[in-house]
Amino acid sequence: MSVQPAYHSRGLGGYEPDATCSYGPQGVTRSTSSLLEWSERAEVVRTWNELKVKHGLLLDPFKDRAQIFGMTDSAVIGGWALSLSMRKARKMGFHGTVDSFESAFHALKGLAELKVSPPLAVGEYVE
């Protein structure tokens, strides 16, 4: 007998679409993990404190866990309400693109320069 993982479910936050719109049933996103729950583990806090001392970090994400990790859960896990499309932008003539990996690299590098995250293992983005 296999054990089923516990899921975190997220709906549309109280939004009930009009049945006449033919959108179908309310969407639900399920995940087996939560960054908010992860942040409550003692070893995570201990490791962050070690990194904070080693790299002189200024941010304490554990002071208000819901603000940092709860919001991150919403952004990462997302859900039906956050399903975005580029269709309308493309119809209006926007065809520019950005490399997601390179963009994320530069964002993380910027956070390290602000002393809110540890420095990256490499200094330059390599394809």
CB 107 within 8 A of CB 100: no
Note the pLDDT of residue 18: 55
For 103-117, what is the mean pLDDT?
A: 95
pLDDT in tens, 44-64: 999 999 999 999 999 999 999
Tell me how far apart the alpha carbons of residues 123 and 109 are, in angstroms, rounded to a whole number: 8
Q: Where are the domains of the chain?
A: 1-84, 85-127
In degrees, rounded to 5, the angle at the alpha carbon of residue 89 between the alpha carbons of residues 86 and 93 is 130
Contact call for residues 80 and 12 (beta carbons, < 8 A) = yes
- pLDDT, one tens digit per residue, over 15-31 is 555 555 656 666 677 78
- 26-30, 36-40, 97-101, 112-116: which range is least confident on average? 26-30
pLDDT at 21: 61
3-state secondary structure of 54: helix
**pLDDT-based confidence at residue 75 (cuts at 50, 70, 90):** confident
